[in-house]
Amino acid sequence: MSRVLIVEDDPSLLRALGLTLRASGWDVVTATDGRTALHAVADHRPDVMVLDLGLPDMDGLEVLRTLRRTSRVPVLVLSARDQSADKVRALDVGADDFVTKPFGVEELLARLRAAVRRGDPADELGVIDAGDLHIDLGRKRVQRSGVDVRLTPIEWHLLNVLVRHRGRLVDHRRLLQEVWGPAYQRETNYLRVYTAQLRRKLERDPSRPRHIITEPGLGYRFEE
């Protein structure tokens, strides 16, 4: 049974989500504000978090920033904010996915299941040395010039897919479906955000990447 932490200040929505997820086999923990949510992550160690951005004590983005200092738990943002800039901002801060209210329950469940799978992906074993990068797929470990690089689950899964297909183009749709799940086909802004984050962590000069190469309009390629 996977554990989900729902962070939502609307009592009726919180109750409905809790009932639905419990009926679908989830172990549900709830919080109605940001500070309680951060304590709940430490106390209950959820497999995934559903986070509303409009919380009474602190903005959801601030919750994300604080959370990412200590935790890599997958976070699915659930928000009425529907502008593309809001979604990119949340992804850039550390969200793994973004669902706009109102939403379909089956879609939400599918995205939660995908988020949990991404949190512990079944990676192919292998060690790749590319320039000053040392990537150990089996141990889920990346080093740059001998120093460990901390990656979020999404960053790791995206890198894993690119490395397993190194030297070959991986198109947008395949990347989205392998990293986020089969419901994702058009969210190319997710790819822009996370490839930029990977480049900042892995490339000597992120503006002139050597390893994570963009093929405009097509997809991405990892080069050794």
CA angle 137-44-63, nearest 5°? 80
Question: Could you give the maximum distance between any two Cα atoms of the chain, in Å?
Answer: 53
Residue numbers of the domain that contains 72: 3-119
Q: Does the pLDDT at position 169 exceed 80? A: yes
Nearest to 164 by CA among 215, 74, 224, 205: 224
Q: Which of 66, 94, 119 is the last residue of a domain?
A: 119
Over residues 38-51, the mean pLDDT reads 91
Shared domain check, 142 and 83: no
Number of domains in the chain: 2
Look up the CATH number of the domain holding residue 174.
Answer: 1.10.10.10
User: Among all chains, which residue has been given the structure tokens 């190319």?
Assistant: 188
Identity at 47, one-letter amino acid code = D
pLDDT band at 120 (very low <50, low <70, confident <90, very high): low
One domain, residues 50 and 115: yes
pLDDT over threshold 60, residue 124: no
Say whether both 110 and 215 belong to one domain.
no
Same domain, 49 and 134: no
| pLDDT surpassing 80 at residue 183 | no
Select, from the ranges 18-32, 103-117, 153-167, the one with the highest average predicted confidence (pLDDT): 18-32
Does residue 112 sit in the same domain as residue 145?
no
Residue ending a domain, among 119, 143, 176, is 119
196, amino acid identity: A
Token match 């030297």: residue?
Answer: 167
Q: How many CA atoms lie within 13 A of 72 on its CB side?
A: 12
Residue among 174, 180, 166 at smallest CA distance from 213: 166
The pLDDT confidence band at residue 119, using thresholds 50, 70 and 90, is low
